[in-house]
Amino acid sequence: AVRRAMLLVSIALSSGLLLAPTFVQDAHRVVVKCSRAPVTCMHEERAAENSDDVDEDVEPMTEDLLPMLGSWRATYDEAETARERVLSQKLEAAAALDAARAEAARALDTAIEEALSAKALAQLALDQALVDNERMLEQAAAAEAAAEAGLAAALQQARQEEEIARAALEEERAQAAKEREEAARALQAAEAQAAQEKAELREMLRRQEKAAAEAAAAAAQEKQQMAEKLEEANARAAKAK
């Protein structure tokens, strides 16, 4: 049993089980108990294990075990101190973590409040923008309706003016056609009058030419007669000399 206790303590030391104080304390109690009463420990071990395999060569080892147990105890105390230090550090870290969590929670609450406030402001701005947008849409619709009405009136006015202009153009075209017809008739009449006057002028010129030719013939005849008379007179004068 002592060897088993020593083996258990060695395993605990080598495997880092010193952080489990219950295990080390139990092994310590077993070793001390067996060092004081090895036979009783042996019988208790036999009764606990219900086995016939008991080492018959167990001898008291108090003088050898006590220094070793003191060393184990010191190691255990150091481990316990280290464990308490680690536990204290863990508690400090937990406190710091709690403080950090509280600060983070406060920061988160502040951020949430600011976000909610910003969201509320954004919602107000959005509502105002929607109202402004609706008002602008209404104004745009009214302006569009007014523009459509003005455009319809302008189109109606343009159609009326176009009809009036078309009627005036048709009237002007009819008047121009009438004037062209009258001008054509006047031109025809003038051409006819001019042709008639030209014919009359030609006839008058022909008569004048005929009269001139008759006058020239009469003048030539009269001149011939005068020349004959002048010759007769000259002949008589010559005879008279």
Task: Tell me the per-residue pLDDT of 199-219, one tens digit each, with 9 for 90 and over.
Answer: 998 899 888 888 888 888 888
**What is residue 70's predicted lDDT score, i.e. its pLDDT?**
63
pTM of the shown model:
0.30
Question: Over the range 44-83, which residues count as b (16 or more CB within 10 Å of their CB) and which as e?
Answer: ebeeeeeeeeeeeebeebeeebeeebeebeeebeebeeeb
Does residue 70 lie in a domain region?
yes
Does residue 88 lie in a domain region?
yes
Compute the distance between CA of residue 131 and CA of residue 137 in angstroms, rounded to an integer: 10
Q: How confident is the model at residue 76 (pLDDT cuts 50, 70, 90)?
A: confident
Nearest to residue 10, comparing CAs of 75, 80, 83, 61?
75
For the chain, give the percent of residues with pLDDT over 70.
Answer: 69
List the domain range (segments joined by +) for residue 16: 2-100
pLDDT surpasses 60 at 81: yes
**What is residue 49's predicted lDDT score, i.e. its pLDDT?**
47
Q: How confident is the model at residue 26 (pLDDT cuts 50, 70, 90)?
A: low
Reduce the secondary structure of 76-129 to three states and give it as a string.
HHHHHHHHHHHHHHHHHHHHHHHHHHHHHHHHHHHHHHHHHHHHHHHHHHHHHH
Q: Tens digits of per-residue pLDDT, 128-148?
A: 988 998 899 999 999 989 989
**What is residue 67's predicted lDDT score, i.e. its pLDDT?**
64
Compute the distance between CA of residue 164 and CA of residue 162 in angstroms, rounded to an integer: 5
* Mean pLDDT over each residue of the chain, to the nearest integer: 76
Does residue 84 lie in a domain region?
yes
pLDDT surpasses 50 at 56: no
Instruction: Name the more confident of 46 and 182.
Output: 182
Burial (CB count within 10 angstroms: exposed 0-12, middle 13-18, buried 19+), residue 209:
exposed
The distance of Cα 22 from the centroid of its chain, to the nearest Å, equals 72
> Considering its fold, how many domains does the chain have in total?
1
Instruction: Name the more confident of 22 and 216.
Output: 216
Q: Could you tell me if 32 and 69 are in contact, meaning their C-beta atoms sit under 8 angstroms apart?
A: yes
Report the residue count for the chain: 241
Which whole-number Å values give the CA distances from 198 to 124, 190, 193, in the listed order? 104, 12, 8
Q: How confident is the model at residue 27 (pLDDT cuts 50, 70, 90)?
A: low
Q: Tens digits of per-residue pLDDT, 145-161?
A: 998 999 999 999 999 99
- Torsion angle of alpha carbons 185, 191, 195, 201, nearest 10°? 120
